[in-house]
Amino acid sequence: MKDEYDLSKMKSRTNPYAKQLNKQVTLRVSPDVIEYFKKMAEETNIPYLSLINLYLKDCSASNRKLNMQWK
């Protein structure tokens, strides 16, 4: 293995996985919802943002609709 490599001759190309990356968004979420997912994160040892993402993916995959009734 070489001690140094000359990367100036390297050809660049686009990342083939770029379309699969998560998109960063800003959401306003109630503190109690954040606490719920943080507690669940401690129990499962999974980061709470990943848990939120997994939950939303599950809702999307199962085409779950929110049952709301306005008073």
What is the pLDDT, as a whole number, of residue 52?
Answer: 96
Helices (H), the chain: 31-44, 48-61
Summarised one tens digit per residue, pLDDT across range 6-61 is 888 888 888 888 888 888 899 999 999 999 999 999 999 999 999 999 999 999 99
- Give me the pLDDT at residue 39, please: 98
Structure-token pair, residue 62? 């199962």
The amino acid sitting at 12 is: S
pLDDT tens digits, one per residue of 59-71: 999 999 888 888 8
Sequence ranges of the domains in the chain:
29-63
pLDDT at 1 over 80: no
Q: Supply the pTM of this predicted model.
A: 0.67
